[in-house]
Structure formats: structure tokens, C-alpha cells
Amino acid sequence: MTPPYILAIDQGTTSSRALVVDHEGAIVGVGQQPLTQHYPQPGWVEHDPVEIWRSTLDAIGVALAQAGLALADIACIGVTNQRETAVVWERESGAPVHRAIVWQDRRTAGICEDVRSAGEEERVRQATGLKLDPYFTATKLTWLFRHNPELRRRAQLGEICAGTVDAWLVWKLTGGKSFLTDFTNASRTLLFNVRRGRWDDSLLDLFEVPRAALPTAVPSRASFGFTDGEEFGCRVPVTGVAGDQQAALFGQGGFAPGVAKNTYGTGCFLLSNAGRKGSVPGSGLLLSLGAGAGLEGPEYVVEGSVFVAGALVQWLRDELGIIRESAEIEALAASVPDSNGVVIVPAFTGLGAPDWDPHARGAILGLTRGVTRAHLARAALEAIALASAELIEVMNESLPEPIRELRVDGGAAVNDLLMQLQADYAGVPVLRPLSTETTALGAAYLAGLSAGAWSSTDEVAELWRPERVFEPRLGSAERHRRLRDWRRAVERTLGWAS
């Protein structure tokens, strides 16, 4: 273990985690606590903000104990978090006034449709780089304030705080002394103008959100205050904050255009650094601020989402019974040389980029009598790789330079066959790092750079090491044929539920 030690808080959708990272980028302590999911109505998803905080505290305690350290031994703290989730609490007491409305929650679809019908969608997209969707924070706050007019009145008076999970955690860490968010999280709210780098008054009016309720937005590498001495017994600076996907790109060394990262979880999140000139991308892609924004000017990232990735493997396991454990899919898929013409489009809940069609539904195409469960397993892995490869292709049209390598993380990144298929279909090398804890490491690097533990991103970049590189094996003609077949299959699923 090499001091100084940095504490990284990684507050996610299903759990709160904490990691202690040393100067060499090694993880010397890990704590994790599950988080309860609340589903009060179909399509609604909520978290208890008090449980978010308590689970975070418990995770910190476990991580420090595993590292054999006390909080006083920590040089600085970095925070990364589930994005878009809305938390609202009283400024004086610090007590939440409602459960957190989670990014997955769809209750505000009607509000989005009203804004769209009013002809405001393009204005919102040009200012924020985002799509008008319940996914983002703004309409969650609209819903809360409409359903409780007294809450809105108090928010206008500055008695109520409304923020994303990072703002809640910073508030709690500092004993209510800091009410701050960072640019990456702010840029995911539909309330932040990514060109001007500030809250947009016209959008605040459109979504009926009082400015007095919102935190101050600052760069990801900044002073967010100190841990409360009465609560923690010591004052440790909080010096880095970023939303989880931007933190993961930073942890993967995505400091400049040409490098992209893809996280393989329930779905896939593909992000690439877009440099300092952010043009709103087409093809259903999103534009947000990166973790380097605000230091020497703007920094933008382009993002695309594949809604179903690991969830497809879970479906084969739980609903079809083709495999007993998720890890079995690699050997089963590798037992055949190809999918025997089968293409699976796993549009279980619609499609994300580039189609953004909530009415699309899943399909298995190309079935013949000779298709076996092994061919279905192979087609499932191909679907995950093809969907991400298509995103890379359309993303290149919006980037200052094309993606030259893809750095990967997430649970499914351990699947060698999937990573080889990804390299083949994307036509670029796929690099899997020694440590796939890239989200938490990104938060640690941001905090450490701000606090002086590392002198530059060049020094941090040297800490990133590949465990394996997967080189493309398919020729260009065959790769494009596979992508054309994938597009044909996707088009057959569009609008099905409408």
C-alpha cells in the first residue's frame, strides 16, 4: 500500500460502494451495501434518501476496515453516483421530503409529451444536448412540485433543496455546509445549458423548477468542502465529483478524443470524449459535459445507450432455461462457429440509440429447424456486440476524430468471446483493463488530481494498464455485411407495440 490514500464513494442504483485507492491506483479496501428498490406503482422506481446515506456510511466503514485505515488517514474523497435521480430535502433540517425518484422511473411520460406538444423539444435539445424523456431529472422535479404546491412555494423561498444524488451526498458529508453539484451531473438534468455552463432560466421556467432550490454547479475537480468534524471526527476534503458514466470514462483514461469506453451491465453505456466543441449529435445520441469541463474551458462527451445487454443473458437463463448460470453462455456460444443465420433483437422495453423507439419489441429472426440453443446463445452475444458496434459507427459521425480503440468494463466484459465479437464488429481494438472498477477509480483520480496526489492526467494515464487486447479479425466487407443484416433485423421490430 502506497500513501496517500483516497476514498472513492460509488453510489449506484442497486448498491452503495466505497473503495480505498492508493497512489499506484491499487484498490486496498472495498465495502458494499445493497440498496432497497421501491416500486409504488407500475413504472415508478424510488429510493429512500436516508437509506442511500446510511448504506454509503456502512460501505465506507467496511472499506476502511478492510484497508486497515481510519478516515483520518484519507487524503481526500471522490464521489460518483447514479445520474438523473432526483432527491429533495429541507434545507434547515436536512430531512428528505419525498423518496428519491430514480432515473428508471417513467411516471413523467405525460409531462414530456405536454412539453413536446407545446413545440419545445428542439429548444430543449439544443440547450441541453439531451432528449426530452422521463429518464432525466427535470420532469421528476416538475411532478414533485405539481403534486405538492406548498413544496414549490417553500422551494421558491429557498427552504427546499432539490438535486441529484451527488448533491445529497456532498450535503451529508459536509454536514449541510456545501450545497453543490458538478457539471457532469448538472448536464443530465434537462435544466443546464451545456454551452453556457450554467442553469438555464428559460428551462427552469419551462419545467417549473425554482432556481433557489438548485445547488451551485462547479467543475468535477473542485473543492466541495470538508467532512463534518462532529459527524466524522476529522475534516477530510471532498475534491472530486462526477456522474457514474463520465467517471468511468475518466477512469479508463478517456481524456481526449479517439478513446471510447463501453460499460457492459444490464444495458450498455458507450461514451467518447468529444473535445471542446460540442455539436448536438444526431442518431439519438446525447451530448453531456465531461469530467474535465470547466478547468480550461468546456469538455464534451457523446453518449449512446443500449437498453438490453446483460439482461438478454439473464432472459436466456431465467425465462428460457437455456443456461443455468450466466457464465455458461460463453462456452455454449463458442461451441458453434456462428449463429446459423439467427439474429436476436432484444428490444424488450423498446430501443435506445440510434432509434429511440419505445414501441419496438424484441424478435428472433432467421429461425430454421437446425437452430440449437447454442446458436441462440451465440446470437445473443452477437446482438450485444452488434448493437454497440452500430453505436460506434453513428457516433463517429459526431466526433472530431473517429474512435480508434474501445476500453471496456462492467460484468460482461469478462466474457472473452463477447469481447472478440465486439472487436470484430466494431473494427477497432477492444482493451480490457486489469481493474474493471473504472467508475470508482475515475472518482478517485478526479479527487486525487484536485488534491495534488497526482500532478497531471498524464501521470494518471500511466496507472491504466490493459489486461488483454482483442484485435479485430473480420475483414471490412464481412463486418459491414453483419451490420447491414443487424440493421435489417432492427427495422423489423420498430413500432411493433404501437
The verdict on residue 242 lying in a domain is no
Looking up residue 96, the CATH number of its domain turns out to be 3.30.420.40
Alpha helices, H only, 319-471: 329-334, 373-395, 416-426, 438-451, 457-461
Is residue 423 domain-shared with residue 450, that is, in the same domain?
yes
The predicted structure's pLDDT at residue 104: 83
The predicted structure's pLDDT at residue 295: 73
Answer yes or no: are the C-beta atoms of 45 and 38 closer than 8 Å: yes
Q: What is the mean pLDDT of residues 386-400?
A: 92
Structurally, how many domains does the chain consist of? 2
Residue 1 has pLDDT above 70, yes or no: no
Question: Phi and psi for 432 in degrees, rounded to 5?
Answer: -105, 120
- Residue 210: half-sphere exposure toward Cβ, Cα within 13 Å: 20
The verdict on residue 368 lying in a domain is yes
Boundary residue ending a domain (181, 202, 236): 236
The verdict on residue 244 lying in a domain is no
Is residue 301 domain-shared with residue 450, that is, in the same domain?
yes
Q: Cα–Cα distance between 303 and 281 in angstroms, integer? A: 9
Who has greater pLDDT, 220 or 309?
A: 220
- Residue 61: half-sphere exposure toward Cβ, Cα within 13 Å: 8
Is residue 221 domain-shared with residue 265, that is, in the same domain?
no
Who has greater pLDDT, 335 or 41?
A: 335
The helix or strand, by DSSP H or E, that contains position 121, with its residue range, turns out to be helix 121-128
The predicted structure's pLDDT at residue 346: 93
Q: What region does 244 belong to: left with phi over 0, alpha with psi -120 to 50, or beta? A: alpha
Boundary residue ending a domain (236, 270, 305): 236
SS3 30: strand
Q: What is the mean pLDDT of residues 433-445?
A: 92
Is residue 282 domain-shared with residue 382, that is, in the same domain?
yes
The verdict on residue 107 lying in a domain is yes
Is residue 117 domain-shared with residue 173, that is, in the same domain?
yes
Q: What residue type is assigned to position 407 of the chain? A: R
Is residue 199 domain-shared with residue 307, that is, in the same domain?
no
290-332 pLDDT tens trace? 988 777 778 899 999 888 888 899 999 999 999 999 899 999 9
473 confidence band (pLDDT: 50, 70, 90) = very high
Q: Cα–Cα distance between 230 and 92 in angstroms, integer? A: 17
The verdict on residue 246 lying in a domain is no
For the chain, the average pLDDT equals 93
* Residue found under cell 437452430: 371
The predicted structure's pLDDT at residue 159: 95
* Residue found under cell 439519438: 284
Answer yes or no: are the C-beta atoms of 292 and 298 closer than 8 Å: no
Pairing between β-strand 86-90 and β-strand 160-164 as defined by DSSP bridges: antiparallel
Q: Cα–Cα distance between 357 and 349 in angstroms, integer? A: 9
398 confidence band (pLDDT: 50, 70, 90) = confident
127 confidence band (pLDDT: 50, 70, 90) = very high
Residue 490 has pLDDT above 80, yes or no: yes
The predicted structure's pLDDT at residue 284: 83
The verdict on residue 247 lying in a domain is no
- Provide the percentage of residues in the chain whose pLDDT is more than 90: 77
Residue 427 has pLDDT above 90, yes or no: yes
129-174 pLDDT tens trace? 999 988 899 999 999 999 999 999 999 999 999 999 999 999 999 9
CB proximity list for 444: less than 8 A, separation 6 or greater: 6, 7, 8, 19, 21, 25, 78, 240, 251
The predicted structure's pLDDT at residue 162: 97
Is residue 296 domain-shared with residue 158, that is, in the same domain?
no
The predicted structure's pLDDT at residue 53: 97
Q: What is the mean pLDDT of residues 60-84?
A: 95
The domain in which residue 190 lies consists of 5-236
- Whether this prediction's pTM lies above 0.75 is answered by yes
227-269 pLDDT tens trace? 999 889 999 999 999 999 999 999 999 888 888 999 998 888 9
The predicted structure's pLDDT at residue 107: 86
The predicted structure's pLDDT at residue 299: 87
Helices 109-117 and 138-147, packing angle to 10 deg: 100
- Cell matching residue 266: 444490464
Is residue 155 domain-shared with residue 288, that is, in the same domain?
no
Answer yes or no: are the C-beta atoms of 297 and 276 closer than 8 Å: yes
Boundary residue ending a domain (183, 201, 236): 236
The predicted structure's pLDDT at residue 93: 94
Residue 414: CB atoms within 10 Å: 15
Is residue 449 domain-shared with residue 331, that is, in the same domain?
yes
The predicted structure's pLDDT at residue 2: 74
